[in-house]
Amino acid sequence: MLDQLAHAIERHCVGPWSETAVPKLSLVALDELIEPMEVTYEPMICFIADGHKRTVAGEHSWITPPGAMAFFTLDLPVTATFEKVPYRAAVMRLDHQALAALQLELAEAGPPAPPAAAAAVTAPMAPELVDAVTRWVRLCGTPEDIGPLGPRIETEILYRMLRSPLGPMLRHWSLADSAAARIRTTARWIRDRYAEPLGIDEIAEVARMSPATLHRHFKAATGMSPLRFQKHLRLQQARRLLFTRDMTAAQVAQEVGYASATQFSREYRRAHGRPPGQDVAHLRTRLTGAREVPLLHDGSGAKP
For residue 54, give the 3-state DSSP assignment. strand
Range picked from 53-67, 95-109, 134-148, 259-273 for highest mean pLDDT? 134-148
Is residue 5 within 8 A of residue 47, CB to CB? The reply is yes
Q: Is residue 110 part of a domain?
A: yes
Band of residue 15 on the pLDDT scale cut at 50, 70, 90: confident
Is residue 52 within 8 A of residue 79, CB to CB? The reply is no
- Report the domain count for the chain: 1
Task: Write the CATH number for 21.
Answer: 2.60.120.280
Q: What DSSP assignment string belongs to 265-299?
A: HHHHHHHHSS-HHHHHHHHHHHHTTSTT--SB---
Give per-residue pLDDT as tens, 258-301.
999 999 999 999 988 899 989 888 877 766 544 444 444 434 44
How many C-beta neighbours within 10 Å does residue 291 have?
10
Q: Is residue 286 part of a domain?
A: no
Give per-residue pLDDT as tens, 193-239.
999 999 999 999 999 999 999 999 999 888 899 999 999 999 999 99
Q: Is residue 69 part of a domain?
A: yes
- Using the predicted structure, report yes or no on whether residue 177 has a pLDDT greater than 90: no
Q: Is residue 124 part of a domain?
A: yes
What is the pTM (predicted TM-score) of this model?
0.81
Distance CA 139, CA 162 (A): 23
Q: Is residue 141 part of a domain?
A: yes
Q: What is the pLDDT of residue 11?
A: 96
Poorest-pLDDT segment among 31-35, 136-140, 184-188 = 31-35
User: Where in the sequence is the domain holding 168, given as residue range(s)?
Assistant: 2-174
Give per-residue pLDDT as tens, 19-36.
999 999 999 999 998 888
Q: Is residue 275 part of a domain?
A: no
Q: What is the pLDDT of residue 285?
A: 77
| Closest listed residue to residue 56, CA positions, set 33, 32, 37, 75 | 37
For the segment 79-87, the average pLDDT, to the nearest whole number, is 93
Q: Is residue 54 part of a domain?
A: yes
